[in-house]
């Protein structure tokens, strides 16, 4: 009698599991559109917001070579999008696929489960298909440094650029970086040398 009861219980649990899995397969859980201020840990959400800050690594010539996280803001609050492994590479490729690349100010949509780390909510992006640019707002061009010497240069650690290789101040620089144009130097926050940039 006990053996039959166990078999009945096992059969009931198996049927219940099959019905539950079938139901979830046919009726997948859908993410809910929410404001960042409304999210709670464990929520499966769709968020839309503007990129407030991108945490990236650049090479010596300012090319983005890695990305760690993106902070988005929807006007009600901000939240971090964290990336790891292959999704990190996919996100980097997605960002660089646009010309100019995706930047602060661009509007994006992200889908994911809200988790909490150090008292702050975040979404760990687990699939690149859950990240989408929905409005390009920042059309500021991408600026890179020249890998070879040009006549426009500055100190890697300074904020003044030079246009004459014989400039007495420029000659003192040991760690030089080179620009493709004066416009590039200015957009990166460098000021013209008063000695060799006579047009200023």
* CA dihedral angle for residue 88, residue 124, residue 53, residue 38, rounded to 10 degrees: 160
Picking from 137, 151, 142, the residue whose alpha carbon sits closest to that of residue 179 is 151
Number of domains in the chain: 3
Picking from 188, 106, 101, 177, the residue whose alpha carbon sits closest to that of residue 141 is 101
Q: What is the CATH number of the domain that holds 89?
A: 2.40.50.140
Please compute Rg for the chain using Cα positions. 26
- Co-location of 110 and 53 in the same domain: yes
- pLDDT per residue, tens digit, the chain (200 aa), is 455 677 667 767 777 777 666 665 665 578 889 999 999 999 999 999 999 999 999 999 999 999 999 999 999 999 999 999 999 999 999 999 999 999 999 999 999 999 999 989 999 999 999 999 999 999 999 999 999 999 999 999 999 999 998 999 998 999 999 999 999 999 999 999 998 986 54
- Co-location of 73 and 113 in the same domain: yes
- Co-location of 22 and 37 in the same domain: no
CA torsion through residues 13, 14, 19, 22, sign = positive
Cα–Cα distance measured from residue 72 to residue 200, given in angstroms and rounded to the nearest whole number: 39
Domain that residue 87 falls in? 32-135
- Co-location of 2 and 41 in the same domain: no
- Co-location of 113 and 163 in the same domain: no
Cα–Cα distance measured from residue 102 to residue 124, given in angstroms and rounded to the nearest whole number: 19
């Amino acid at each position: 009698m006990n053996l039959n009861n166990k078999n009945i219980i096992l059969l009931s649990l198996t049927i219940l599991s099959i019905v539950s899995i079938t139901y979830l397969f046919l009726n997948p859980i859908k993410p809910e559109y929410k404001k960042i201020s409304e999210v709670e840990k464990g929520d499966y959400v769709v968020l839309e917001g503007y990129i407030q800050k991108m945490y990236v690594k650049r090479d010596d010539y300012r090319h983005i070579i890695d990305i760690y996280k993106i902070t988005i803001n929807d006007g009600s609050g901000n939240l971090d999008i964290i990336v790891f492994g292959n999704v990190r590479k996919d996100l980097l490729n997605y960002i660089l696929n646009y010309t100019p690349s995706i930047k602060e100010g661009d509007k994006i949509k992200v889908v994911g489960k809200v988790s909490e780390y150090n008292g702050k909510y975040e979404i760990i992006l687990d699939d690149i298909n859950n990240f989408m640019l929905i409005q390009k707002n920042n059309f500021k061009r991408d600026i890179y440094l020249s890998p070879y010497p040009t006549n426009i240069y500055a100190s890697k650690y300074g904020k003044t650029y030079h246009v004459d290789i014989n400039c007495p101040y420029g000659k003192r620089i040991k760690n030089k970086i080179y620009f493709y144009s004066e416009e590039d130097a200015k957009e990166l926050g460098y000021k013209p040398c008063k000695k060799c940039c006579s047009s200023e």
